[in-house]
């Protein structure tokens, strides 16, 4: 919660399935476009919040399948569980609050009287969430009588219908919108209300995100019928909500642009990387651009030009060293020569590189310590290492900096597969 010293410039609160993640796109192109934009222009002063219907277990599964960035805050189980930071510290105060007028056993007992309700898997049954599948045509009637029955038992519940198939029974104070309102209240009491908040969603359990006061909202183009219906009846009058023309993460980028919340040009959309420069030196931007060049070089998606290699040498110290995750040391310039030979070695194959958690600190008047996770996804599977790099600002070069030293370490669970495959 306190990674940033000042109020966030932008807080994005996004649903995952079919909003951040496009399950119809095996190449994850729009997600990777969003990732590059976030790490290059927002990570250093903004907050990323994922708000998913998934339980912690199912959320972890999705993280293994898709190139999701590490969020600052994770809201899971339809706003009933909140966790902070990469270690996911649970908000116990929120869970205590949800105990009010909630009795899980009564919910189970009453819902069992409805044969139309089919229990979802055990992982999706959580302390403050009981979830079912239902046939679309039966949903409305069942929801109505459930409210009556549970009300008679003295419970104050919220029943949410999503994706035409799912029903979640939650405490009245829970839900994605209530969880966000709670976070905003906490930020306000710390004097850190984000300058702008953008909420993003595609289905019924996202509807209440859009009615949290003072937020902008983007409903992605591929939204579910029940959310589009809600938009038609209620949301449309709110000028701070748009129904995007683009799918999933591309719709989120569209929302950033529509509401003018900050840069909305993903580095991945830039054809000639050498033309995309920022006015002020931003380590996140440089790291993203470097690995994009690296990916395109190995995929032969840019010209095989000596200039690129010469330029890389110009922005690295002659005597600089890179320590590979395997522990092998290499002079930066030798490493660049090796890299030159790898032009097109991944041509036509699945090869994607992205960075996560870029952070940097200025440790001297012209020196920066930059740290990030680097991911490479290829036909052989994912590979990931933590990188620490020392940069020196060099105003006389077009890039404005030079790489002095880099050190890489395999991330937990990613042992060396093929030492030569990791070049930078």
Binding region for ligand GLC (CB under 6 A): 53-54, 58, 78, 120, 124, 131, 162, 166, 168, 205
The rounded distance, in Å, linking the Cα atoms of 177 and 130 is: 18
Contact partner at residue 124 from Mg ion, ligand GLC, none, CB < 5 to 8 Å by partner kind: ligand GLC
Instruction: Tell the smallest beta-carbon distance from residue 77 to ligand GLC (Å).
Output: 7
Q: Which is nearer to Mg ion, 56 or 85 (CB)?
A: 56
Query: Residue 78 binds what, of ligand GLC, Mg ion, none (CB under 5 to 8 Å, by partner type)?
Result: ligand GLC
In whole angstroms, the minimum distance from the beta carbon of 118 to ligand GLC comes to 11
- Nearest position to ligand GLC, beta carbon: 53
**Cβ 18 to Mg ion, closest distance in Å?**
4
Residue 205 binding target from ligand GLC, Mg ion, none, CB below 5 to 8 Å by type: ligand GLC
Q: Which is nearer to Mg ion, 162 or 196 (CB)?
A: 162
The smaller minimum CB distance to Mg ion, of residues 73 and 391, is found at 73
Q: Which is nearer to Mg ion, 210 or 401 (CB)?
A: 210
Nearer to ligand GLC, 30 or 131 (CB): 131
* CB 78 to Mg ion: min, Å: 11
Which residues, at least 6 apart from 119, have a Cβ–Cβ distance to it below 8 Å? Answer: 125, 131, 132
Q: Which long-range contacts (CB under 8 A, 24 or more apart) does 294-297 make?
A: 294/339, 294/353, 294/423, 294/424, 295/351, 295/352, 295/353, 297/339, 297/342, 297/343
Encode burial over 215-251: b for 16+ CB neighbours within 10 A, e otherwise.
Answer: bbbbbbebbbebbeebbeeebeeeeebbbbebbbbbb
Strand ranges inside 255-295, DSSP E? none
The item of Mg ion, ligand GLC, none sharing an interface with residue 18, based on CB under 5 to 8 Å by kind, is Mg ion
In the complex with Mg ion, the residue whose CB is nearer, 131 or 352, is 131
The option from ligand GLC, Mg ion, none interacting with 15 (CB < 5 to 8 A, set by class) reads Mg ion
Q: Which residues of this chain interact with Mg ion, rule CB under 5 A? A: 15, 17-18, 202-203
Burial class (CB in 10 A: 0-12, 13-18, 19+), 146: buried
72/374 Cα distance (integer angstroms): 18
DSSP H or E run through 167: strand 166-171
- Least distance to ligand GLC from the beta carbon of 171, Å? 15
CA distance 407 to 405: 7
Nearest to 50 by CA among 29, 28, 26, 66: 66
Q: How far is the CB of 71 from ligand GLC (least distance, A)?
A: 17
Measured from the CB atom, the residue of 19 and 120 that comes closer to ligand GLC is 120
Helix/strand/coil for 118: strand
Query: What is the closest distance, in whole angstroms, from the C-beta atom of residue 228 to ligand GLC in the complex?
Result: 16
Nearer to ligand GLC, 124 or 254 (CB): 124
Angle at Cα 300 formed by Cα 298 and Cα 306, nearest 5°?
85
Work out how close the CB of 104 gets to ligand GLC at its nearest, in angstroms, rounded to a whole number.
15
Q: Answer whether 22's CB lies under 8 Å from 31's CB.
A: yes
> From the CB of residue 105, how many other CB atoms can be counted at a distance below 10 Å?
7
| 72 binding partner (options Mg ion, ligand GLC, none; Cβ < 5 to 8 Å by kind) | none
CB of 403 to ligand GLC, least distance (A): 43
Strand, coil or helix: what is 352?
Answer: strand
Query: Which residue, 17 or 72, is less far from Mg ion as judged by CB?
Result: 17
CB 104 within 8 A of CB 127: yes
Taking the least distance from each CB to ligand GLC, the nearer of 111 and 316 is 111
Opening angle at CA 79, ends 76 and 81, nearest 5:
55
Q: First-to-last CA distance in the chain? A: 32
Min dist. Cβ of residue 224 to Mg ion (A): 8
Residue 383 site contact among Mg ion, ligand GLC, none (CB < 5 to 8 Å, cut-off depends on kind):
none
Distant-in-sequence, close-in-space partners of 317: CB < 8 Å, separation ≥ 6: 332, 392, 402, 403, 404, 405
């Amino acid at each position: 919660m306190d990674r940033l010293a000042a109020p966030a410039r932008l807080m994005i609160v996004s649903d995952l399935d079919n909003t951040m993640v496009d399950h119809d796109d095996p190449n994850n192109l729009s997600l990777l476009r969003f990732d590059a934009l976030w790490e290059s222009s927002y990570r250093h002063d903004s907050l990323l919040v994922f708000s998913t219907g998934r339980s912690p277990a199912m959320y972890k599964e999705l993280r293994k399948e898709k190139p999701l960035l590490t969020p600052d805050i994770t809201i899971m189980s339809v706003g009933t569980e909140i966790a902070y930071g990469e270690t996911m510290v649970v908000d116990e105060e929120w869970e205590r609050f949800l105990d009010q007028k909630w009795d899980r056993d009564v919910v189970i007992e009453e819902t069992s009287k409805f044969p139309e309700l089919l229990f979802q898997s055990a992982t999706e049954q959580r302390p403050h969430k009981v979830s079912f599948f239902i046939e679309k045509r039966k949903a409305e009637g069942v929801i109505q009588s459930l409210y009556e029955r549970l009300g008679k038992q003295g419970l104050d519940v919220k029943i949410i219908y999503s994706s035409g198939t799912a029903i979640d029974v939650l405490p009245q104070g829970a839900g994605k919108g209530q969880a966000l309102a709670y976070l905003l209240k906490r930020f306000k009491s710390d004097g850190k209300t984000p300058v702008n908040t953008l909420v993003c969603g595609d289905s019924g359990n996202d509807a209440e995100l859009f009615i949290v006061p003072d937020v902008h909202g983007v409903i992605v183009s591929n939204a579910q019928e029940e959310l589009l219906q809600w938009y038609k009846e209620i949301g449309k009058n709110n000028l701070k909500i748009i129904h995007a023309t683009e799918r999933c993460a591309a719709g989120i980028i569209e929302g950033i642009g529509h509401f003018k919340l900050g840069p909305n040009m993903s580095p991945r959309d830039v054809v000639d990387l050498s033309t995309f420069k920022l006015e002020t030196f931003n380590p996140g931007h440089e790291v993203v651009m470097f690995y994009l060049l690296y990916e395109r070089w190995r995929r032969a998606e840019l010209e095989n030009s000596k200039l690129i290699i010469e330029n890389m040498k110009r922005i690295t110290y002659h005597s600089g060293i890179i320590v590979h995750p395997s522990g092998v040391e290499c002079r930066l310039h030798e490493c660049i020569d090796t890299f030159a030979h790898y032009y097109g070695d991944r041509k036509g194959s699945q090869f994607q590189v992205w960075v996560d958690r870029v952070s940097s600190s200025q440790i001297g008047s012209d020196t920066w310590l930059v740290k990030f996770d680097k991911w490479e996804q290829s036909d052989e599977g994912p590979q990931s290492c933590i990188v620490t790099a020392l940069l020196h600002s060099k105003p006389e070069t077009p890039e404005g900096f030079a790489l002095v030293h880099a050190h890489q370490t395999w991330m937990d669970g990613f042992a060396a597969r093929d030492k030569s495959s990791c070049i930078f």
